Amino acid sequence: MYNSNKVIPGIIIFVLIVTFPIWLNHGKAVSAPKPILPEGRCVESKEFMRANHMQLLKEWRVLAIREGMRIYTSSDGSRFWIGLQNGCMKCHHNKQQFCDKCHDFASVKPYCWNCHIPPETKEFGTAKATRLLKLFRIPVDLREGAKPKHGEHGGHGEIDKGGEH
Protein backbone atom coordinates (compact mmCIF):
# COMPACT_ATOMS: atom_id res chain seq x y z
CA MET A 1 0.00 0.00 0.00
CA TYR A 2 1.27 3.46 -0.81
CA ASN A 3 1.71 5.82 2.11
CA SER A 4 0.64 3.18 4.55
CA ASN A 5 2.65 4.91 7.26
CA LYS A 6 0.20 7.81 6.99
CA VAL A 7 -2.99 6.06 5.95
CA ILE A 8 -3.07 3.46 8.74
CA PRO A 9 -2.51 5.90 11.63
CA GLY A 10 -5.03 8.17 9.91
CA ILE A 11 -7.63 5.43 9.92
CA ILE A 12 -6.88 4.60 13.55
CA ILE A 13 -7.21 8.24 14.58
CA PHE A 14 -10.43 8.55 12.61
CA VAL A 15 -11.93 5.49 14.30
CA LEU A 16 -10.88 6.78 17.71
CA ILE A 17 -12.49 10.14 17.12
CA VAL A 18 -15.70 8.65 15.80
CA THR A 19 -16.03 6.27 18.72
CA PHE A 20 -14.93 8.88 21.24
CA PRO A 21 -18.34 9.21 22.92
CA ILE A 22 -18.42 5.47 23.47
CA TRP A 23 -15.00 5.53 25.15
CA LEU A 24 -15.82 8.53 27.20
CA ASN A 25 -18.97 7.06 28.69
CA HIS A 26 -17.65 3.55 28.90
CA GLY A 27 -18.35 1.94 32.21
CA LYS A 28 -20.46 4.80 33.44
CA ALA A 29 -23.93 3.40 33.98
CA VAL A 30 -26.53 6.13 33.79
CA SER A 31 -29.22 5.28 36.26
CA ALA A 32 -32.77 5.13 34.99
CA PRO A 33 -34.93 8.08 35.96
CA LYS A 34 -37.11 7.55 39.02
CA PRO A 35 -40.22 9.66 38.75
CA ILE A 36 -42.10 10.02 42.01
CA LEU A 37 -45.35 8.14 41.72
CA PRO A 38 -48.42 8.73 43.81
CA GLU A 39 -50.03 5.86 45.69
CA GLY A 40 -52.55 3.68 43.96
CA ARG A 41 -53.44 2.92 40.40
CA CYS A 42 -53.38 5.46 37.61
CA VAL A 43 -56.24 5.48 35.12
CA GLU A 44 -54.68 2.40 33.56
CA SER A 45 -51.94 0.02 34.65
CA LYS A 46 -48.44 1.35 35.18
CA GLU A 47 -47.19 -0.63 32.19
CA PHE A 48 -49.90 0.70 29.93
CA MET A 49 -49.34 4.28 31.06
CA ARG A 50 -45.60 4.02 30.69
CA ALA A 51 -45.92 2.86 27.11
CA ASN A 52 -49.03 4.72 25.98
CA HIS A 53 -49.60 7.86 28.05
CA MET A 54 -48.84 10.12 25.12
CA GLN A 55 -51.41 8.48 22.87
CA LEU A 56 -53.93 8.40 25.69
CA LEU A 57 -53.41 12.08 26.48
CA LYS A 58 -53.83 13.00 22.85
CA GLU A 59 -57.00 10.94 22.61
CA TRP A 60 -58.29 12.62 25.78
CA ARG A 61 -57.48 16.04 24.46
CA VAL A 62 -59.31 15.51 21.18
CA LEU A 63 -62.35 13.82 22.68
CA ALA A 64 -62.75 16.23 25.59
CA ILE A 65 -62.32 19.45 23.64
CA ARG A 66 -63.82 18.48 20.32
CA GLU A 67 -66.51 15.97 21.30
CA GLY A 68 -67.29 17.08 24.84
CA MET A 69 -66.41 13.66 26.22
CA ARG A 70 -65.09 14.58 29.64
CA ILE A 71 -65.49 11.29 31.41
CA TYR A 72 -63.15 8.41 30.83
CA THR A 73 -64.11 4.90 31.82
CA SER A 74 -60.96 2.87 32.19
CA SER A 75 -60.46 -0.80 31.52
CA ASP A 76 -61.35 -1.71 35.09
CA GLY A 77 -64.54 0.34 34.98
CA SER A 78 -63.39 3.31 37.08
CA ARG A 79 -64.42 6.73 35.86
CA PHE A 80 -62.16 9.77 35.64
CA TRP A 81 -62.54 13.46 34.81
CA ILE A 82 -60.47 14.11 31.71
CA GLY A 83 -58.00 16.93 31.98
CA LEU A 84 -54.35 17.65 32.48
CA GLN A 85 -54.60 20.33 35.15
CA ASN A 86 -57.89 19.04 36.54
CA GLY A 87 -57.22 15.34 36.00
CA CYS A 88 -53.67 14.00 35.89
CA MET A 89 -52.08 16.67 38.03
CA LYS A 90 -54.58 16.24 40.85
CA CYS A 91 -52.64 13.08 41.76
CA HIS A 92 -49.31 13.84 40.16
CA HIS A 93 -48.84 16.94 42.27
CA ASN A 94 -45.45 17.83 40.95
CA LYS A 95 -44.44 18.15 37.34
CA GLN A 96 -40.74 18.39 38.15
CA GLN A 97 -40.79 15.20 40.17
CA PHE A 98 -42.93 13.33 37.70
CA CYS A 99 -43.13 14.47 34.09
CA ASP A 100 -39.74 16.11 33.91
CA LYS A 101 -37.84 13.15 35.35
CA CYS A 102 -38.28 10.96 32.30
CA HIS A 103 -38.74 13.69 29.74
CA ASP A 104 -35.41 15.26 30.67
CA PHE A 105 -33.75 11.87 30.66
CA ALA A 106 -35.11 11.05 27.23
CA SER A 107 -34.58 14.62 26.06
CA VAL A 108 -38.15 15.02 24.87
CA LYS A 109 -39.75 18.41 25.20
CA PRO A 110 -43.52 18.18 25.11
CA TYR A 111 -45.12 21.60 24.84
CA CYS A 112 -48.04 20.93 27.18
CA TRP A 113 -46.72 23.42 29.71
CA ASN A 114 -46.50 26.35 27.36
CA CYS A 115 -50.17 26.79 28.18
CA HIS A 116 -51.11 24.36 30.92
CA ILE A 117 -50.08 25.39 34.40
CA PRO A 118 -48.17 22.86 36.52
CA PRO A 119 -49.47 22.53 40.11
CA GLU A 120 -46.24 23.81 41.65
CA THR A 121 -46.49 27.16 39.84
CA LYS A 122 -47.32 29.90 42.29
CA GLU A 123 -46.86 32.87 39.99
CA PHE A 124 -45.59 33.60 36.53
CA GLY A 125 -42.24 35.27 36.03
CA THR A 126 -41.89 38.78 34.71
CA ALA A 127 -41.53 39.39 31.03
CA LYS A 128 -38.07 39.18 29.61
CA ALA A 129 -36.96 42.32 27.85
CA THR A 130 -36.95 40.65 24.49
CA ARG A 131 -36.40 42.47 21.25
CA LEU A 132 -39.99 41.81 20.35
CA LEU A 133 -41.24 43.52 23.48
CA LYS A 134 -39.06 46.51 22.73
CA LEU A 135 -40.20 46.55 19.17
CA PHE A 136 -43.80 46.74 20.31
CA ARG A 137 -42.88 49.13 23.10
CA ILE A 138 -44.49 46.93 25.69
CA PRO A 139 -43.20 47.86 29.14
CA VAL A 140 -41.54 45.01 30.97
CA ASP A 141 -41.66 46.10 34.61
CA LEU A 142 -45.38 45.61 34.98
CA ARG A 143 -45.09 44.39 38.51
CA GLU A 144 -43.31 47.32 40.10
CA GLY A 145 -45.95 49.96 40.31
CA ALA A 146 -46.03 50.42 36.57
CA LYS A 147 -49.31 48.59 36.55
CA PRO A 148 -52.45 49.61 38.34
CA LYS A 149 -53.93 47.00 40.67
CA HIS A 150 -56.39 44.50 39.36
CA GLY A 151 -59.76 46.15 39.19
CA GLU A 152 -58.67 49.76 39.04
CA HIS A 153 -57.26 49.31 35.61
CA GLY A 154 -59.63 50.89 33.15
CA GLY A 155 -58.24 49.06 30.14
CA HIS A 156 -60.94 46.51 29.57
CA GLY A 157 -63.82 48.44 30.97
CA GLU A 158 -62.94 51.72 29.42
CA ILE A 159 -64.73 52.72 26.30
CA ASP A 160 -62.38 52.08 23.48
CA LYS A 161 -62.34 55.25 21.44
CA GLY A 162 -60.34 53.53 18.76
CA GLY A 163 -63.16 51.20 17.88
CA GLU A 164 -62.61 47.51 17.53
CA HIS A 165 -59.48 46.19 15.97
Partner 1 sequence: MKRRKFLKLAGISAAVAGGVPSFLLREVKARSYTPPPGALTARRWGMAIDMKKCWEHPECNDCIKACHAAHNVPEIPEKKKEIKWIWKDEFEHVFPEQPNEFNNIVFEHKPFILLCNHCKHPPCVRVCPTKATFKREDGIVMMDFHRCIGCRFCMAACPFGARSFNWVDPRPYIQEFNPEFPTRMKGVVEKCLFCYERLEKGQLPACVEACKHKALIFGDLEDENSEISRILKERFSIRRKAELGTEPSIFYLIG
Is the distance from CB of 94 to CB of 36 less than 8 angstroms?
yes
Compare residues 12 and 117 and give the one whose CB is closer to partner 1: 117
Q: Which of 100, 47, 36 is nearest to 75 (CA)?
A: 47
The distance of closest approach from Cβ of residue 28 to partner 1 in the complex, given in angstroms and rounded to an integer, is: 36
Among 7, 9, 65, 93, binds partner 1 (CB under 8 A): 65
By CB under 8 A, how many residues form the interface with partner 1? 57
Mask for 88-117, x = binds partner 1 (CB under 8 A): --------------------------xxxx
Residues at the site binding partner 1, with contacts judged by CB under 8 A: 44-45, 48, 61, 63, 65-77, 81-82, 85-86, 114-117, 119, 121, 123-127, 130, 132-133, 136-140, 142, 146-147, 150-151, 153, 155-160, 162-165
